[in-house]
Every structure is written in C-alpha cells, then in structure tokens.
Amino acid sequence: MHVDWTTVAIYAVVGTVLLVVLWPTVTSGRRFLRRWGVKDPTDEQSLLGRKYLLDRRLLYPPLLLATSFVTDGDNNFWPLLVLALLLAEIIGAFRPVRGPRAASLTRRTWSDLVQRWAVVLMLALAVLAVVVAVFGWIAAAWGQRVVSRYPAGGSWVTDGNVITQVADVQAKVSDSRWLFVLVSVVLATAAVLGVVWLAVRRGAIADLQVDAALRTRSARVAVGIGIAWMASSVVEANWLLESLRGIRWPEPEPWLLAGTGGLTRLTLPMWMIAVGGWIWVANPANRMPYVQSTQR
C-alpha cells in the first residue's frame, strides 16, 4: 500500500488542532451537561462531564493519524473524520466504569436513549449501500468477462470512432471498492448497535442524572455517526457503477449498468442526509425520556 506521508502529516496536525480547540474544561463540562439535560450541574458533575469528553477527545489525534494510512492517496477528509469519531465512541464505550455505582429504578431501553426513526434510517441506508455495492460487484464481474476477450494491451472501437484501451477498463473493473463498502457497512452497523447496547446495559455511575445524560449522548452520537457513514457508503458504492457506466462497451450493457443511471441523483441527497443526520441525531433534543425521568 502506498503511503502519502504529506497526507499523514496533515491529518496528524488536524487531529492535534481539534484536540487543542476542543480541550474540555470544567466550564465546558458544565455547559456540556446542561445541553444534555442536567439542570444546574455542580462542580462534581461538571468534572464527570469533562472526563467523559476528555476520554474521547484524547483519541482524536492518534485515530486520525491511524486512519490516514488507509487513504491510499485519497484526500477526502469526511470519511476519515467520521471513522475517527466512531472509533473514539467505540473505545470510550468499552472503557470500564470507575467509582461508586448506583442502580436506577427507571427501566431503560434503547428507544429511551435514541429515536427509533434514526435507527431505522441508519439500517435502511446500510441496506441501500449493500445493494448498490452488490450491483457494482456484479457489473464489475460482467466487465471483467468482456475485457478477458481482448488482449491485455489491445483496444476496441465503438460507434465507429471511439477507441477504448483495454488496460484502462481493466483498472476500473478490478476496483474492489464494492468489497470495502460491504465490509465497512457490516462492521459499522455492528459497532453502532454495540455502542447503543452498551449505553443501555453498562453499569451506572453514582450520579444518576449525569449517568442518564452520558448514556443518551453516547447512543445518539453513535447513531448519528452511523447515519453519516451509511449515507457516505451509498455514494462510495455508486462511484464504481458510475465509473463503469462511463465506458463505451463493445456490447450491450446489462441492466445493472444501463438501468441504474438514476442512482447518480442520490449523491446530493445522501450528503444532505449525512450532515443532517449528524445535526438532528447526535445533538440534544427537546424530548430525551430517560434523562428527563431522572430529574423528577
């Protein structure tokens, strides 16, 4: 794998700048808890909020640095940022709870922490990304069969004057982007649902108000990141189909190429869903049932 050290250095700097800018303090911990439904947080509660944020934000520089090694020259910042945020939430969710424990008398479920529509949307986008990736896989396999009928250094002519080089087509039909999408969607879905499950099931800290706020925030942020990742994966999966549709083939294209041109129109809506999902899901809402139940 080719490593672009300039890209690695840029992401290392970006991660460090993010950490410096977002470095949590007791004041920011208090503001954070207030946003997530804790009324008038005390200094002790604010310290818990600060620790929660610090545990995750300390991971930004190393995770952005690590994910930059898989770009292979791709300078698209958005997927790396989403991946780093998701990994930070996963690692943070698996960290053991320290200090005194408490048992809540209020039974919690995943739908108390995160909206049902958000989870349904994430799963629907995951299914769409998988379907488009499978389309790309089948279309690429068809393209490889076509290419195999021509010499490696040869070409073909279509429309009487358009010359297509076999080597150029071979590079496109050998693109394994569809496999990356399939694997990443499965792993991301498992990771997000795992974080939500841990947010519901893990032991509670002694301060039940803070505990409820942190659980809700963990679940909502994970699902918000999941929506952004799945929407991005739909765009990534469709890139291969777009690339194959741009080739002048010497024989009629199968339906998976000729009949899926409309998927291109999904690009802008998918980016809007990715950003909108983050804004609507990964931030506090007026209705947070579990947090509000601890205020009574």
Question: Residue 163: what are its φ and ψ, rounded to 5°?
Answer: -95, 125
Query: pLDDT tens, 82-131?
Result: 878 888 888 887 776 555 545 555 567 889 899 999 999 999 999 999 99
Give the highest mean pLDDT range of 13-27, 220-234, 274-288: 220-234
Strands (E), 88-141: 101-102
CB 43 within 8 A of CB 109: no
CB 265 within 8 A of CB 99: no
Given the structure tokens 């969607």, which residue do they identify? 185
Query: pLDDT tens, 41-85?
Result: 999 999 999 999 998 888 888 888 777 666 554 556 667 778 788
The two tokens of residue 246 are 């741009």
266-286 mean pLDDT: 90
- The secondary structure of 208-240 as a DSSP string is HHHHHHHHHHHHHHHHHHHHHHHHHHHHHHHHH
**149 in helix, strand or coil?**
coil
CB 185 within 8 A of CB 227: no
Domains of the chain, by residue range, sit at 5-293
Cα 110 from Cα 15, distance rounded (Å): 31
Q: Residues 6 or more apart from 285 whose CB is under 8 A from it?
A: 115
Length of the chain in terms of residues written? 296
CB 122 within 8 A of CB 227: yes
Q: What amino acid occupies position 292?
A: Q
Claim: this prediction has a pTM higher than 0.85:
yes
Nearest to 227 by CA among 282, 186, 174: 282
Cα 129 from Cα 148, distance rounded (Å): 28
What was the pLDDT predicted at 73? Answer: 47
% of residues, the chain, pLDDT over 70? 90
